[in-house]
Amino acid sequence: MEKGLNFEVAQVKLIDGEHQSSRYRALSLTARVPCLEHDGFTLSESSAIAEYLEECFAPQAYPRLLPESVTARARARQLMAWLRSDLMALREDRSTVTMFYQFQLAALSAAAERDTAKLIHLAKALIPPNAGSLFGDWSLVDSELAFMLHRLLLNGHDLPEKVRAYAEREWQRPTVQAFVNQPRPKALPESYWEYAGTPRPRVK
């Protein structure tokens, strides 16, 4: 959507194990979602997809996904890799499903508290005083950082004012809202936890 390209979405029902089907594995290789199909080429893993689109539909002809300068792009890649590979205790205690479904959640574990402190420390260090985008103009890492921060915000955790203002502003970006407002089941069936491989949230 950020590139302004026409595309079609084909849903993969994790709960029914569609990502493990032989057809989907042939496309994705890793049986992971999302998977991009473009001109007969298929590619999974979000970071690989983003960089592929940035090269195929390059600035200036198309809007940027990554910052303009070499150093800012490197920093953005560093942050996106970190957001996807660290903070595992926070991800488990405040998984994505807790952002869209209501649970009476237990307090954060000690490990998740440490992850939260790391996340807030990084956000406070990088977010500009005016709570604007990290590298002047919007880039993909802004949406990814805001999404991680909303694991806390949507579950009632306090954030420093600058960090909260940044996360809430990024959350209102039209492309983010298009994802947030996708139709979802009103409730998760019991079979969800088995098929999705998502840890069940710790409840009070």
What are the pLDDT digits (tens) for 70-99? 999 999 999 999 999 999 999 999 998 899
- The set of residues, in sequence order, having a beta carbon less than 8 Å from that of 84 and lying 6+ positions away, is 46, 47, 144
pLDDT at 195 over 70: no
What are the pLDDT digits (tens) for 134-156? 999 999 999 999 999 999 999 99
Question: Is there a single domain that holds both residue 29 and residue 96?
Answer: no
Residues 50-58: contacts with CB under 8 Å, at least 24 apart: 50/140, 53/3, 53/5, 57/3, 57/5
More confident residue, 161 or 179: 161
pLDDT at 52 over 90: yes
Rounded distance, CA 197 to CA 122, Å?
Answer: 29
Averaged pLDDT of the chain: 90
Question: Is there a single domain that holds both residue 119 and residue 171?
Answer: yes
CATH number at residue 41: 3.40.30.10
Q: Which residues pair with 42 in a beta bridge?
A: 37
Print the domain residue range for 168.
70-180
| Amino acid in the structure at residue 80 | M
Does residue 199 sit within a domain? no
CB burial of residue 88 (10 Å; 0-12, 13-18, 19+): exposed
Does residue 28 sit within a domain? yes
Question: Is there a single domain that holds both residue 162 and residue 105?
Answer: yes
Domains of the chain: total: 2
Mean pLDDT of 19-41: 85
